[in-house]
Amino acid sequence: MTTSDRFATRAIHAGQSFDPTTGAVIPPIYQSSTFVQDGIGGLRGGYEYARAGNPTRTALETQLAALEGGAHGLSFSSGLAAEDSLLRAVLKPGDHVVMGNDVYGGTYRLINRIHGAWGIRNTPVDTTDLAAVRDAVKAEATRILWIETPSNPLMTVSDITALAEIGHDARLIVVVDNTFASPALQQPLSLGADVVVHSTTKYIGGHSDVIGGALVINDDELHEKAKFIQFAAGPVSAPMDAFLTTRGIKTLAVRMERHSQNALAIAEHLVGHAALDTVLYPGLPDHPGHELAARQMVGGFGGMISLSLSGGGAAARRFAESLEVFSLAESLGGVESLVNYPSEMTHASVRGTELEVSESIVRLSVGIEDVADLIDDVDRALARA
Ligand SMILES: *Cc1c(COP(=O)(O)O)cnc(C)c1O
């Protein structure tokens, strides 16, 4: 692998050199918690105990950094574990976080309830409104600007370059949750962000068979701090989980291409449908973030669509429960299509807060099945809504 290799090549080869002792093309899964020392302190390859490091995790961390074009990758036991480690690496009591007002519900819960209890304050703000973001920053106290784009579940698109400028003028650490786009479509570090966060459970893993999270960081000092939390608090990926994630990454580029094609076809098919008020998909020309998304995303608009049913909550529930090819389940980003009812599933934790999601909204994670079957399924279920 050379640094000039393009995305799909990096995804397959970064961190994946063959095993020198046997020639195995796929590096072995190092299912080992500890490593022999040749005399005290005589480590082979730098490994001593797998909470501190394991070769299978190192391979994934190298691959993650390469995907995002960053200097350092860190792999965690979940997306929220990655977020928590980053927050603890940066914040101390009294500090303040400015974050998007429709970030993932679990991110809000983590920052507001867990870190809130330790004296961290937060202001949720519409990150498409740059003036509102500037106003929300408190001199001296704000340390992090947390952006999610496209956002979950409303698919709003925020301008990473402009927000990074605002953040850096105020000396903040600018974090982008890149879970929805994946690095195949959007690379926030190249747009000025300091840290990329992933739930690798979603598109990066891609097969709904593993929970994981990642941080990709350019700054050496911040990387050392986050790595220290990972080592000292222990939210690491297990070797088998790291291996499954690595295997998923190798097909990320082709999967994202098909996810994007299928989602665009479904979104275009649904525009103007009598049972729908709105089709929220950044690939549609009349989506408010379309032009921005076309600039900051490359090669597609992703596989996530949200629909607002004109019949309200009851119709939305009937639709979600009538789909057959789409399975009713939390999560997203796998090869199989899923449907989620945010107000009672993924976003139940933000009910009654300013991040509450309307009962009319249904979120589709469009898989890579034959798109004709997906369209038939959606049409059938809308007819019952
Ligand atoms: C799922 C998700 C997370 C949390 O990740 P886990 O792996 O479930 O801990 C964070 N951000 C976004 C956008 C997500 O979809």
Distance CA 142, CA 273 (A): 44
Cα dihedral 338, 183, 167, 71 sign: positive
Read off the tokens for 48.
């001593």
DSSP 39: S
Q: Is 7 in the pocket of ligand 1 (CB under 6 A)?
A: no
pLDDT for position 352: 82
Do residues 322 and 384 make contact, with C-beta atoms less than 8 angstroms apart? yes
Q: Please identify which residue in the block is written with the tokens 């490994």.
A: 47
Residue type for position 356: E
Q: Is 309 in the pocket of ligand 1 (CB under 6 A)?
A: no
For ligand 1, atom 2: residue with the closest CA: 199
pLDDT for position 1: 55
Q: Is 235 in the pocket of ligand 1 (CB under 6 A)?
A: no
Average pLDDT along the chain? 96
Read off the tokens for 364.
């589709």
pLDDT exceeds cutoff 70 at 349 = yes
Cα dihedral 369, 293, 246, 67 sign: positive
What fold characterizes domain 253-384? Aspartate Aminotransferase, domain 1 (3.90.1150)
Question: What tens digit of pLDDT does each residue of 272-305 get?
Answer: 999 999 999 999 999 999 999 999 999 999 999 9
Q: How far is CA 381 from CA 163, 269, 305, in A?
A: 39, 14, 16
How far is ligand 1, taken at its centre, from the CA of residue 214, in Å? 10
Question: What tens digit of pLDDT does each residue of 104-149 get?
Answer: 989 999 999 999 999 999 999 999 999 999 999 999 999 999 999 9
Q: Is 322 in the pocket of ligand 1 (CB under 6 A)?
A: no
pLDDT for position 123: 98
Read off the pLDDT of each residue in 83-102 and give the average, rounded to a whole number.
97
pLDDT for position 3: 60
Band (2; pLDDT cuts 50, 70, 90): low
Percent of the chain with pLDDT over 70: 99
For ligand 1, atom 5: residue with the closest CA: 79
Return residue ranges of the chain for CATH 3.40.640.10.
7-249
Count Cβ atoms below 10 Å from residue 93 Cβ, excluding itself: 9
Band (356; pLDDT cuts 50, 70, 90): confident
Q: Is 199 in the pocket of ligand 1 (CB under 6 A)?
A: yes
Mapping DSSP onto H, E and C, the string for 75-136 reads EECCHHHHHHHHHHHHCCCCCEEEEECCCCHHHHHHHHHHHHHHCCEEEEECCCCHHHHHHH
Read off the pLDDT of each residue in 325-343 and give the average, rounded to a whole number.
96
CATH of domain 7-249: 3.40.640.10
The string over 251-285, giving b where at least 16 C-beta atoms fall within 10 Å of a residue's C-beta and e elsewhere, is bbbebbbbbbbbbbbbbeebeeeebbebbbbbbbe
pTM as predicted: 0.96
Read off the tokens for 158.
């925020």
pLDDT exceeds cutoff 70 at 164 = yes
What angle, 0 to 180 degrees and rounded to 10, lies between the N-to-C axes of helices 220-233 and 79-90? 120
Question: What tens digit of pLDDT does each residue of 166-179 get?
Answer: 999 999 999 999 99
Q: Is 302 in the pocket of ligand 1 (CB under 6 A)?
A: no
For ligand 1, atom 4: residue with the closest CA: 79
Substitution site in 75, 104, 147 for ligand 1 pocket (most atoms within 8 Å of beta carbon): 104
Q: What atom in ligand 1 is closest to the CA of residue 332?
A: 15
